[in-house]
């Protein structure tokens, strides 16, 4: 059931350092802030649990009011095994704490959407 899986995911996120900020869970890692919002896609028993993950970089954009979706980097991560997949994701994002590392390891976040300002910084243009 999605609600039980979501509760287990939130418990793991908090155990691994996520703190509530403006109604969203946020993990500070070095110079970066990772917003991780669990959400259901779909309804009923067929709903899929996702993590909406955003990376906020203070020098690139203002602090997001809407959580991950307002971050300059956004990626949705489907959770086939909610706790195990969340742990794997946390291993990745908690080891990325600055822009050079993010640029080198962006491929570890497949499907990530990166806005133009952050892309320019990652490409060394900003």
For residue range 43-94, list pLDDT tens digits in order: 877 788 999 999 999 988 889 988 999 999 999 999 999 999 999 999 999 9
Q: How many residues does the chain have?
A: 126
* C-alpha distances in Å from residue 108, one per residue of 3, 88, 95, 103: 27, 11, 11, 10
Mean pLDDT for 95-122 is 96
Q: How many distinct structural domains can be found in the chain? A: 1
Lowest mean pLDDT among 27-31, 38-42, 43-47, 91-95: 43-47
Domain range enclosing 74: 2-122
How many whole angstroms separate alpha carbon 6 and alpha carbon 39? 8
Q: Label residue 15 by pLDDT band (50, 70, 90).
A: very high
Please state whether the predicted TM-score (pTM) of the whole model is above 0.85: yes
């Amino acid at each position: 059931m999605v609600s039980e899986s979501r509760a287990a995911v939130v418990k793991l996120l908090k155990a691994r350092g996520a703190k509530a900020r403006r109604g969203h869970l946020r993990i500070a890692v070095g110079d970066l802030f990772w917003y991780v919002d669990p959400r259901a896609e779909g309804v009923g028993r067929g709903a899929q649990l996702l993590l909406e993950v955003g990376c906020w970089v203070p020098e690139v954009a203002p602090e997001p009011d809407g959580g991950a979706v307002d971050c300059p980097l956004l990626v949705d991560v489907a959770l086939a095994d909610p706790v195990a997949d969340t742990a794997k994701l946390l291993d990745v994002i908690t080891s990325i704490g600055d822009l050079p590392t993010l640029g080198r390891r962006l491929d570890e976040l497949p499907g990530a959407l990166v806005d133009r300002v952050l892309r320019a910084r990652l490409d060394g243009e900003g």
